[in-house]
Amino acid sequence: MQLAKRLLFTEEYYFSKKLREIEEMNSTGKKVINLGIGSPDLPPHPDVIETLKEYAEQPHTHGYQNYKGILPLREAISSWYKRFYQVTLNPNTEVLPLMGSKEGIVHICMTYLEEGTEALIPNPGYPTYASAVRLSGAKAVTYDLSEENGWLPDLKKLEQMNLSKVKIMWINYPHMPTGTDSTQEFFEELVQFAKRNNILICHDNPYSFILNDNPKSILSVEGAMDVAIELNSLSKSSNMAGWRVGMLVGNAQRLQEILRFKSNMDSGMFLAVQMSAAKALSLDKSWYDELNAVYRERQKIAFSMLEHLGCKYDPKQVGLFTWGRVPEKYDSAYELSDEILEKARVFITPGGIFGEAGKQYIRISLCGTLDTFSEAMNRIIEISI
């Protein structure tokens, strides 16, 4: 049986292959510390778990659900956006719950892209953007981000390109993997860029609460609802990665168009999960403050790791990872990552998996206990790099 052409250039996810290698090392007793993947190790708020139990025990909650999600969840999302992002959304038409924001990336691409069209994706950036664009049959056109330009796209340079086939542009701030936050001024410039070039801006925004006291949404910019949509998630901000709860917000017409594709892909989200998500979204700022207090302690050790490895980093970075430039003696961060894995039995992600512009950088996930970070630090100190 021959694979469909859409999969010919879609490789197995890097972490999928690396996890197998780590499993093999663990099976021989090497006990690898994995600081590569951003899967939160902390639990959701106790009230969220209690809500899940309460609704899971009710006999009427186990059937199919509305493709648009239940109204209490859509209202909770709308209220959350108003409180923390100062964005007003109609819960009936401008909010679409998702089974994780990753599926939303695919939904958007399959809704608007096809063969002969193009999408702009960041380099470095989340690999799923490129994969989803290719699966749609469209061409992924990278735009380079650089440390010198603050890891923001050069919009003037982009407008010198032929953008006639470009339908959407993926952006992601706070940026993964670099930890760069955006500014309101940049979002304003981006909205004007989109209007001039008839491009839909797709903002992927799952990291806005992590180590960040000023969460921002592109939809807070005047006119953004006309040219932008935004994905968000409870995976990081509410420690609910495995629950698969995300959302898409934006113009009612855009969401209705995307729902035409989404409604053919799933049959709704478990009601108990939706009610739990609504509870998570109702938590006040103290939840995020407590979460960030934990991440700040972990970040301190991660920065110390980077310093010991001779890496340079921006202390102002935010989000769930730390990002650092490797010493010049390495041709790429793959070399340093493999060396640390072999000698210290600690896995740190090479930045090259996020694009050519990230090949001289490494990324450390903050998902691990303080004891785990301390042990990883001790192992790294003991080896000769």
Contact present, 278 and 238 (Cβ < 8 Å): no
Residue 98: the pLDDT is 96
| Domain boundary, last residue among 282, 303, 331 | 282
Going through the chain in order, the beta strands assigned E by DSSP cover: 33-34, 95-98, 118-123, 139-144, 166-171, 200-204, 228-233, 246-250, 312-313, 321-325, 346-347, 349-350, 361-365
361 with 329, same domain? yes
φ, ψ dihedrals at 315, nearest 5°: -70, -10
CA distance linking residue 73 with residue 186, whole number of Å: 31
CA distance 322 to 333: 14
- Per-residue confidence band for 383, with pLDDT thresholds at 50, 70 and 90: confident
Calculate mean pLDDT across residues 343-358: 94
Establish if 269 belongs to a structural domain: yes
- Structurally, how many domains does the chain consist of? 2
Q: Are residues 232 and 297 in the same domain?
A: no
Residue 14: C-alpha distances to residues 82, 127, 340, 355 (Å): 37, 9, 17, 12
Residue-number span of the structural domain to which 330 is assigned: 5-43+286-382
Domain assignment of residue 48, yes or no: no
Residues 10 and 103 in one domain: no
Residue 55 in domain: no
| 56 in a structural domain | no
pLDDT for 207 equals 96
- Give yes or no: residues 266 and 352 share one domain: no
Model confidence at 111, pLDDT cuts 50, 70, 90, reads very high
SS3 of residue 100 by DSSP: coil
Count H helices, E strands: the chain?
13, 13
Residue 66 pLDDT class (50, 70, 90 cuts)? confident
pLDDT at 38: 86
Per-residue pLDDT at 122 exceeds 60: yes
In degrees rounded to 5, what are phi and psi of residue 125? -170, 175
Whether residue 269 is found in the same domain as residue 299: no
CA torsion sign for 122, 124, 125, 127 is: positive
Please give the sequence-ordered ranges of beta strands (E in DSSP) within 186-331, or none if there are none.
Answer: 200-204, 228-233, 246-250, 312-313, 321-325
My answer on whether 312 and 259 are in the same domain is no
What is the DSSP pairing of strand 361-365 with strand 321-325?
antiparallel
Place of tokens 């936050």: 181
Q: Do 346 and 290 fall into the same domain?
A: yes
- Domain C-terminal end among 256, 282, 308: 282
In terms of domains, do 80 and 156 share one?
yes
Burial of 105 (0-12, 13-18, 19+ CB in 10 A): buried
Residue 49 lies in a domain: no
Q: Is residue 374 over pLDDT 70?
A: yes
Q: Same domain, yes or no, for 319 and 204?
A: no
Domain ends where: 262, 282, 302? 282
Tell me which of 38-42, 105-109, 147-151, 324-328 is least confident: 38-42
Minimum mean pLDDT range among 62-66, 81-85, 157-161, 215-219: 62-66
C-alpha of 327 from chain center: 27
Supply the pLDDT for residue 9.
Answer: 61
Same domain, 71 and 88: yes
Q: Is residue 89 part of a domain?
A: yes
- 114 within 8 A of 137, measured Cβ to Cβ: yes
Question: Can you give the CATH number for the domain in which 89 is found?
Answer: 3.40.640.10
Q: Is it the case that residue 11 has pLDDT exceeding 70?
A: no
CATH code where residue 294 lies: 3.90.1150.10
pLDDT in tens, 273-294: 999 999 999 999 999 999 999 9
Q: What is the pLDDT of residue 10?
A: 56
Q: Quick one: CA torsion of 29, 30, 36, 41, rounded to 10 degrees?
A: 50
Answer yes or no: do 218 and 108 share one domain: yes
Whether 109 is covered by a domain: the verdict is yes
State residue 30's pLDDT score: 80
* Residue 50 located in a structural domain: no
Residue 307 pLDDT grade (very low, low, confident, very high; cuts 50, 70, 90): very high
How many residues belong to the chain?
385
Query: Same domain, yes or no, for 298 and 264?
Result: no
> In 133-242, which ranges are E strands?
139-144, 166-171, 200-204, 228-233
Token pair of 16, please? Answer: 């999928």
The predicted structure's pLDDT at residue 267: 85
Average pLDDT over residues 62-68: 88
